[in-house]
Structure 1
Amino acid sequence: MNTEDVPILRGQAGWLAIESAYANTITGVDPDDQPTINELLKQWRRHYTRNTLRTSYYLAHYHYNGVAYSIPPAMKALAKPMIGWPNKAVRALADLSVFEGIDAPETLQTQVDDLVAANTFGVKIQQAIVSAYTHGCSFMTISGDDDDIRITPRAADWSSALWDWGNDRIGAAMTISDKDKDGYITRFDVWLPGKVYLCRRNSGTWQAERIETGFDRPTVVPIVSDQQLYRPLGSSRITRPLMALTDLGLRTLVRMEATAEFYAAPRIWFLGANKGQVSPDTWGSIVSVINGIPAGRNGEKPELRQLTQASMQPHSDMLKTVALMVSSETDIPVNDLGITMDNPASAEAMAEAERKLSRTADRQNKRFGESIKSILAMALAAQGADEADIRQLRPIWAPTKEASDAARADWYQKVASTNPAFADSDVGLSRAGLTWDEINAHRAYEKQQRTQNAIDELRAKIATAKTDTQEAAANGQQQPAAEQPQSGAA
């Protein structure tokens, strides 16, 4: 296996030694499960180099791959990654997937909220989405017991999975959980239907602890980017064309910098003068106020010729061309790639460019939502939740398209005038621009107001009843006195 593509990551915190991913015999593993574990390790070894290469582009740790004769060797040694287009391709789309919470039946809402809060699920799902866009997929594992359910995100460069084509889901998965200082794997977990093997290296041999899960499938759910029939585990946003364009952009900038070094100093030739007549201190001659060269023996005077400086325009035009190709590859507006065009795009053109990305985000959020429902379904089922209630879970995402407050207010006013019930629903309020937290705060305020109004009404009724009682009591005291006969009456 060729690892020359990613030597810069060797020795760093995330580096793993491929040669350590062999465990042909593991004590404590069922012999029928050993071939599956071997296949999972083989799958990880096969994809690790490419996954790590994409990580290096995302982190801007890639190498300068330039033509040897294009720039001086000294400048080539100074060339460092200065283009973050792969990172931009991932984050621009990931930032449109903002998870806000889970809408669940009233009987299950508190349990779901507690599970999400205990696992900081909003943070973990965002990490998993960024990892999925980087490598094509990431994974979320569900472990623990009824009292302590743990949902853990796993990156693809530390994991592998086998797809179950018959059931259209993961059939087996492996996640690496620890390594030593030399990058050798010391712990990994194997997730199979109904069980999990916790494998540990002990004195050069592998030993496993088996844990029963009670599920007919591995308790692992993939978070997939651009899932296709032929790629059930997705495709990375850092595509091969994008990596090639990033290399091309870096070469263009390096050539531009080399040209700028020559552009900074005037190119002067003296015809008829020998090198001995020119000061070896080139910079001192340039900045000196007075310079001179004596005539030759026969009175010939040296002739000065100044060459036209190299233009920076071709390099700038080439960088714009490369950025346009990156924009086409990633659906990111070219202005967001750090390029300003001579003819700025109109507001409509910019909105259309942003809509391409938001449509992709809407499609991805639906796919991510199904994965989130699968994750929480297994976690809640382990806690004994009702299956009918679990099926009603609905992940909530922030809108992917920006709209002005005036436009939202106009839409909301028109909807409220024709359908007040929808306007007052959670969906209507979210379309009006309120976040899920704001809607919950609004519902809590409404509940508080209803409670306060009920208390005020009860107090008013009590006060009215008390007044009526007092009036009735006063009337009751006066009535007998009125009914008594007057003294002296016949």
Structure 2
Amino acid sequence: MIEDLRRKLEKHEKRVNLKYKYYDCKKIDYDPGIVIPVGIRQRYLSVLGWCAKAVDILADRLVFKGFDNDIFSIEEIFNINNPDIFFDSAILSALIGSCCFVYITKDKEGSVRLQIIEGSNATGNIDPITGLLKEGYAVLERDNYGRANLEAYFLPGKTEIYAKGKKAVVFNHKSNLVNLVPIIYRPDAVRPFGRSRITRPAIYFQKHAKRTLERSDISAEFYSFPQKYVVGLSPDAEPLEKWKATISSMLQFNKDDKGESPKLGQFAQQSMSPFTEQLRTLASGFAGETGLTLDDLGFVTDNPSSAEAIKASHETLRITARKAQRCFGSGFLNVGYVARCLEDDIPYRRNQFYQTRPMWYPVFEPDVATLSGIGDAAIKINQSIPGYFGKDNLSELTGFDASTEPPVVEAMNEE
């Protein structure tokens, strides 16, 4: 029922919005420190974008290429729905909130439209076998106070639209499917709607690092103006103006009646090294949690790395990206399946699409040395097993499609 799904969305909405605040660097964390006064602490609120970096680095590595053996031409549906923005938006939203949803409708001309809805505005009951929803609910429009103005309740074969809590219109279709499809990142049996890239350990390391930066900023004031002292002044001497004594380049002290002069001194200057080391330690923990390197977080290493060294250091990120490709590929295929059924008004069976396979560009773009190595390996393997490497699997390794033009050498010979 729609009431159950409303309560379900209300339960998970705050957590998804919290992840978006961390991604947008707008979350103000509470500092439990007992040494720094609250008034001073609020003057030095730091901002750190490690969680956003963890999402963006993985999202930028995931570039959808298309569908192989696309017998139902579902790629055409994505091509007319601004694919450059659609795929990136779906991937980014799913990495932040663990999942997003695609709202599938048909315009007056009969073409399918695809709309991304973030996880804070949609939910449903999922079929763990197919990854499709049994029923779904989405908030299509909210007022200035966050209340739902326009809602959609999705059932197999129909979609009910509610305006300010009252049923307004019902759209029936012959596909017998729910026109709300989830795109999920790392689902499992416990959490069928996946897990966010912004994990609790990642949030902890970022919060701890922000507190370190705030303490560093406050300590930098004392580092810039170290405390000084004067001993031996006569009780009858005029008191020093603190600001004048700090910024003056020359101070004059006279001897007293007994001929004694005061002695000047300065406390040891505070070092910033402990804060730098602590921040680097926290960055190492965050990098280990998210599969990044210290270079990704701004801690540059001494020696520049080669392309192979960069790939080796990002091995964890590469494995994570390949896992994400499998998750998102299944979701995009489900979107294409439901969209094709809606556009054709034919209830196709899901097993008719099993031969269609999502394709992705390589996680790391190959350089010249890598291309040369792939070419040498392909030649040697084809000599042992003729036809093992062809245009299709070499395209997956290199990320380049086979050229339709004649080779440069043959063209020159023809001239």
Q: TM-score range by the shorter chain?
A: 0.7 to 0.9
The partner residue of 2:59 within 85, 94, 99 is 94
Aligned to 1:40: 5
Aligned to 1:401: 364
Deviations 1:428-448 (A, max 9, x none): 2342441xxx44xx23x46xx
- Is 1:431 aligned to 2:391, yes or no? no
CA contact (8 A) 2:307 2:367 kept: no
- Is 1:134 aligned to 2:99, yes or no? no
Bigger-Rg structure (1/2): 1
The one-letter code sitting in structure 2 at the alignment partner of 1:310 is: Q
**Pairing of 1:46-445 with structure 2 (within 5 A):** 46-67=11-32, 69-105=34-70, 108=72, 111-144=73-106, 147-164=110-127, 169-201=132-164, 206-273=166-233, 277-282=238-243, 284-340=244-300, 350-384=310-344, 390-416=353-379, 418=383, 421=387, 423-434=389-400, 438-439=401-402, 442-443=403-404, 445=405
Gap change, CA 1:295 and 1:160, over 3 Å in 2: farther
CA contact (8 A) 1:278 1:293 kept: no
CA contact (8 A) 2:131 2:331 kept: no
Could you state the TM-score of these two structures normalised by the residue count of structure 1?
0.74
Counterpart CA distance in 1 for 2:395 and 2:300 is 38
The one-letter code sitting in structure 2 at the alignment partner of 1:129 is: I
Q: How many residues align?
A: 400
RMSD of the alignment, in Å? 2.9
Deviations 1:249-275 (A, max 9, x none): 011011111111111113211123369
3-state DSSP of counterpart to 1:269: strand
Deviations 1:371-430 (A, max 9, x none): 111111122223448868744322221101343222223322442453675554232234
**Pairing of 1:4-43 with structure 2 (within 5 A):** 36-43=1-8
Gap change, CA 1:344 and 1:166, over 3 Å in 2: closer
The one-letter code sitting in structure 2 at the alignment partner of 1:154 is: I
Gap change, CA 1:298 and 1:403, over 3 Å in 2: same
Counterpart CA distance in 1 for 2:130 and 2:63 is 30
3-state DSSP of counterpart to 1:95: helix
CA contact (8 A) 1:333 1:350 kept: no
CA contact (8 A) 2:254 2:261 kept: yes
The one-letter code sitting in structure 2 at the alignment partner of 1:182 is: Y
The one-letter code sitting in structure 2 at the alignment partner of 1:219 is: N
The runs of 5 or more residues in structure 1 that have no matched partner are: 1-35, 447-490
Deviations 1:325-377 (A, max 9, x none): 10111111122111246899898775333011111111110121111111111
CA contact (8 A) 2:125 2:133 kept: yes
Identical columns (%): 26
CA contact (8 A) 2:366 2:398 kept: no
CA contact (8 A) 1:412 1:432 kept: no
Counterpart CA distance in 1 for 2:368 and 2:309 is 21
The structure where helix makes up a greater share of residues is 1
3-state DSSP of counterpart to 2:314: helix
Counterpart CA distance in 2 for 1:347 and 1:408 is 12
3-state DSSP of counterpart to 1:337: coil
Counterpart CA distance in 2 for 1:231 and 1:155 is 17
Q: How many angstroms does 1:182 deviate by?
A: 2.7
CA contact (8 A) 1:116 1:122 kept: no
Counterpart CA distance in 2 for 1:297 and 1:227 is 85
Q: How many angstroms does 1:185 deviate by?
A: 1.5
Counterpart CA distance in 2 for 1:249 and 1:366 is 33
Counterpart CA distance in 2 for 1:209 and 1:295 is 95
Counterpart CA distance in 2 for 1:174 and 1:275 is 81
